[in-house]
Amino acid sequence: MRTFEYKSRVYFSDTDAGGIAYHARYLDWAEHGRTEMLRAIYPGKTQMQLASEEHILMVVRSISIEYKAPAFLEDEITVLTDMEEVQHFSFTMRQRIMRSETLLSELKVRIAVIDSVTKRPKKIPEDILKAFEA
């Protein structure tokens, strides 16, 4: 499986008074990277369409993050997302937030797939599994 790249920039609103990115912004950047990866591997279906038409929600079940180096105002960052493991009702992604060759943070995110109506676990449909494997 290929690594998906999402690029962004550190804006003033992402930083504290010293121009250092606030720790919670890394979670936002990672979320943007996961969302854009899902759009790329499963084109034509937004998360809203999956929820309303197929009753599929993808929710964070667990997340761990390790901060390695700070991001600063105006930095261009890249979020690298890899699918690590796919199970019947969940999948795990590894994400790295980089500034050029410098690792800023590393995340491991487990996503549960649930039914948007019942809010109970739902088996990942075959077409989505195939998109993950492509």
pLDDT, residue 1, reads 64
CATH superfamily, with its number, for domain 4-133: Hotdog Thioesterase (3.10.129.10)
Sequence spans of domains, the chain: 4-133
d(CA 56, CA 10): 32
pLDDT at position 42 is 83
User: What pLDDT, on a 0 to 100 scale, did the predictor assign at position 15?
Assistant: 97
Residues belonging to the active site: 16
Q: What is the mean pLDDT of each run of 10 residues along the chain (134 residues)?
A: 92 95 97 93 86 94 98 98 94 97 98 96 91 80
CA distances from 74 to 10, 43, 118 (A): 5, 31, 43
